[in-house]
């Protein structure tokens, strides 16, 4: 087999059983790879709505992309798919680093973990040798300690994927990490691993990835590298990372602060990518497998009372969630909070989101000093923020146990209208730091995201029109470049639909989505041609994008089995009812009327029912998903 290795590895922790399955040939055309095939596997094993995130029947599916392990640029991404503990719905989360390529080199396209071990365990893979091993010496260790032990046992050339204390403690914002600082962070996949008593997966591989047409593949890969090198945004991503855009976003009054009560911060420089570079905190730039951009950071504090603290990052989202959000406009404060999250295995977006809610709840008197275990929470208080993060990750005290279950549960426990300042939608995921009150394609994308309201399923960055390449994308999608402005509601459905498909095929192939939806050197046309060269499976650009639509609909169908309807496609109360605090769009908000005006054409383009948001039978059958329609029909969930 070319491109793919042709094998799915299954490990059942309950039965101590290991087996392989041939990768079905039809799946390579229908779902391409990684995220797409993962969604199919999750549907096949877990479509029964009685299977919850903490049920041993829930599975975890890990998969590098269809071209991961090759010379395709920035193609080292890995998708992890499961039933998420934060929402109880479909969860796809994605990570970079080098672990995914190593799984491919070991000879596998997908790893499916079933059941739950009766004691702490880890999986060791060395090509055809696969074992379930005792993890008693790893349990309780943080990420750095875990990585060091795995490398000591299996060699410096091994690659590890693991959870920290937060995952062991079933914290719903716990992060799966690999290659030390690369995180599949959103949705609490690490808690699913923790529930299965699965601490880590260590891999060594030495098998090549075979290419059908090496000459053609090399030419297209070079074309992609050249386009990325020439892209307007790629140089800034390399130099300053994702946090290089913070100053510009702040000037637009779109950088959320103090739990989304403000959109502009005076002197935001200390929490920017420029500050990391110019003040000497940045020690090196880090690239994932095969990446020519290198947007990841490694930062350290070398002098003063905080000397010796170092970690991967911080990135834009972390500077937002642990900096501007809790009012910590302090470089070292954010580096310390970020390092704590990395060590304990916490998603920085959720860690910051729950901390901000707690601070505002304390200010309002909804949480008392007794509820916070004596902490006097407040904006800009670094020691208190660090203690809140640690308490959450370790489920320590009243505050830690409250926040560890996420805001969906915490607001129900606390009551007193505290949901109004919890930045979650009906699905329950803490929102990432995009100001949807002024970016309308993002608002729609966040609302319909199957895993909750964040940007990492459908990145619509092009709507800002921040580069010639972005404007060209909007013109291609809508027919007119004038729609490359974020405050419009017109044509947002087309923009979101196109980006959904593009994002999905990007991940299915294993590319970093920065290359196709933030920079634009990787695009549907050259992805289709590269897939053909790699596998011998010929697809046009439109056919490749159609596979994206198929997967998006399958992900939607999975949530429908769990009762999801149109009412779940919404936005947080605060963003729907309180206007933006400042700037040229002061007072702007996401009203229900406005959202409905975007949802209707979005559902129409998908051929989904307007009332329920459910796909019609004819839609499933058009997409080759008749068996999915049949199952939902028996449940009474076809419109």
Q: Is 218 helix (H, G, I), strand (E, B) or coil?
A: helix
∠ Cα 484 489 493 (to 5°)? 85
Q: Shortest CA distance to 197 belongs to which of 132, 244, 146?
A: 132
Asked if the model's pLDDT at residue 582 lies above 80, the reply is: no
Residue with tokens 């068996």: 627
CATH: 3.40.50.300, 3.30.470.10, 3.40.1190.20, 1.10.569.10. Which one for 236-421?
A: 1.10.569.10
Q: Which CATH architecture has domain 440-635?
A: Orthogonal Bundle (1.10)
CA dihedral 39, 42, 47, 49 (to 10 degrees): -110
8 A C-beta contact, residue 389 and residue 340: yes
Q: Is 282 helix (H, G, I), strand (E, B) or coil?
A: strand
513-567 pLDDT per residue, tens: 999 998 999 999 999 999 999 999 999 999 999 999 999 999 999 999 999 999 9
Domain 7-204, CATH: 3.60.9.10
Going through 313-393 in order, the beta strands assigned E by DSSP cover none
Question: Inter-axis angle of helices 492-509 and 468-478, to 10 degrees?
Answer: 110
pLDDT at 621: 98
Mean pLDDT across 34-51: 98
For the chain, percent of residues with pLDDT exceeding 90 = 95
* Distance, CA of 179 to CA of 298 (rounded, Å): 13
8 A C-beta contact, residue 613 and residue 565: yes
2-38 pLDDT per residue, tens: 999 999 999 999 999 999 999 999 999 999 999 999 9
Sheet arrangement for strand 282-286: 282-286, 296-300, 310-312
Q: Would you say the CATH fold of 440-635 matches that of 7-204?
A: no
Q: How confident is the model at residue 236 (pLDDT cuts 50, 70, 90)?
A: confident
Domain residue ranges in the chain: 7-204, 236-421, 440-635
Q: How confident is the model at residue 139 (pLDDT cuts 50, 70, 90)?
A: very high
pLDDT at 587: 87
Asked if the model's pLDDT at residue 585 lies above 80, the reply is: no
8 A C-beta contact, residue 342 and residue 163: no
Q: What are phi and psi of 295, to 5 degrees?
A: -85, -15
Q: Which two tokens stand for residue 529?
A: 């041609």
Buried b / exposed e across 137-172, counting CB within 10 Å, b at 16+? Answer: ebbebbbeebbebbbeebeeebbbbbbbbbbbbbbb
Helix, strand, coil percentages, rounded to 5, for the chain: 45, 15, 40
| Mean predicted lDDT score pLDDT of the chain | 96
193-213 pLDDT per residue, tens: 999 999 999 999 999 999 999
Q: Chain-centre distance of CA 192, in angstroms?
A: 16
Q: How confident is the model at residue 1 (pLDDT cuts 50, 70, 90)?
A: very high
For the chain, percent of residues with pLDDT exceeding 70 = 100
Q: How confident is the model at residue 474 (pLDDT cuts 50, 70, 90)?
A: very high
* Distance, CA of 508 to CA of 339 (rounded, Å): 30
349-384 pLDDT per residue, tens: 999 999 999 999 999 999 999 999 999 999 999 999
* Distance, CA of 136 to CA of 121 (rounded, Å): 7
294-335 pLDDT per residue, tens: 999 999 999 999 999 999 999 999 999 999 999 999 999 999
Q: Is 456 helix (H, G, I), strand (E, B) or coil?
A: coil
Mean pLDDT across 266-280: 96
pLDDT at 90: 98
As beta bridge partners, residue 182 has 178
Q: What are phi and psi of 201, to 5 degrees?
A: -135, 115
* Distance, CA of 440 to CA of 460 (rounded, Å): 10
């Amino acid at each position: 087999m070319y491109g793919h290795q042709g094998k799915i590895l299954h490990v059942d922790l309950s039965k101590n059983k290991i087996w392989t399955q041939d990768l079905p040939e039809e799946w390579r055309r229908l779902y391409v790879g990684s995220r797409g095939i993962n969604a199919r596997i999750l549907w096949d094993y877990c479509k029964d709505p009685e299977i919850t995130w903490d049920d041993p029947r829930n599975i975890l599916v890990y998969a590098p992309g269809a071209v991961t392990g090759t010379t395709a640029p920035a193609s080292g991404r890995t998708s992890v798919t499961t039933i998420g503990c934060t929402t109880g719905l479909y969860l796809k989360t994605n990570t970079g680093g080098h672990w995914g390529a190593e799984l491919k080199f070991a000879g596998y396209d997908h790893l499916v973990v079933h059941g739950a071990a009766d004691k702490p365990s880890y999986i060791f893979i060395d090509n055809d040798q696969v074992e379930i091993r005792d993890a008693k010496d790893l349990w309780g260790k943080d990420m750095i300690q875990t990585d060091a032990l795995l490398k000591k046992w299996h060699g410096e050339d091994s690659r590890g994927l693991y959870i920290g204390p937060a995952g062991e403690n079933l914290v719903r914002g716990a992060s799966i990490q690999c290659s030390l600082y690369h995180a599949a962070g959103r949705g609490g996949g690490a808690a699913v691993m923790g529930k299965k008593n699965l601490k880590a997966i260590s891999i060594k591989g030495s098998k090549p990835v075979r290419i059908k047409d090496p000459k053609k593949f090399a030419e297209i890969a070079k074309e992609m590298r050249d386009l990325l090198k020439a892209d307007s945004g790629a140089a800034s991503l390399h130099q300053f990372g994702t946090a290089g855009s913070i100053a510009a976003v702040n000037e637009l009054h779109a950088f959320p602060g103090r739990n989304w009560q403000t959109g502009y911060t005076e002197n935001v420089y200390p929490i920017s990518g420029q500050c990391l570079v110019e003040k000497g905190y940045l020690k090196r730039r880090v690239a994932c497998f095969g990446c020519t951009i290198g947007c990841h950071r490694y930062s350290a504090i070398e002098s003063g009372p905080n000397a010796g603290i170092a970690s991967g990052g911080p990135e834009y989202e972390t500077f937002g969630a642990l900096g501007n959000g809790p009012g910590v406009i302090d470089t070292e404060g954010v580096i310390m909070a970020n390092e704590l999250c990395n060590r304990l295995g916490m998603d920085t977006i959720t860690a910051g989101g729950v901390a901000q809610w707690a601070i505002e709840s304390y200010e309002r008197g909804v949480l008392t000093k007794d509820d916070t275990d004596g902490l006097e929470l407040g904006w800009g208080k670094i020691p208190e923020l660090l203690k809140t993060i640690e308490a959450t990750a370790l489920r320590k005290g009243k505050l830690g146990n409250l926040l560890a279950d996420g805001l969906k549960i915490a607001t129900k426990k606390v009551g007193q209208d505290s949901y109004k300042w919890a930045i979650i939608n009906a699905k329950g995921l803490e929102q990432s730091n995009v100001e949807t009150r002024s970016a309308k394609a993002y608002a729609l994308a966040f609302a319909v995201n199957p895993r909750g309201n964040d940007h990492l399923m459908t990145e619509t960055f092009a709507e800002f029109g921040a580069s010639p390449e972005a404007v060209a994308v909007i013109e291609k999608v809508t027919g007119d470049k004038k729609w490359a402005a974020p405050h419009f509601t017109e044509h947002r459905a087309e923009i979101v639909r196109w980006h959904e498909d593009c994002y999905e095929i990007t991940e299915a192939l294993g590319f970093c989505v920065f290359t196709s939806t933030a920079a634009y050197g990787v695009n549907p046309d050259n992805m289709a041609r590269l897939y053909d060269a790699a596998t011998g499976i010929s697809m046009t650009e439109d056919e490749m994008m159609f596979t994206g639509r198929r997967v998006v609909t399958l992900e939607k169908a999975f949530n429908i089995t769990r009762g999801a309807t149109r009412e779940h496609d919404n936005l947080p109360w605060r963003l729907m009812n309180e206007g933006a605090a400042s700037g040229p769009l002061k007072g702007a908000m996401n009203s229900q009327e406005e959202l409905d005006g975007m949802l209707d054409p979005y559902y129409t383009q998908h051929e989904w029912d307007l009332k329920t948001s459910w796909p019609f039978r004819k839609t499933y059958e058009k997409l080759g998903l008749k068996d999915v329609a049949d199952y939902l029909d028996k449940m009474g969930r076809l419109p």
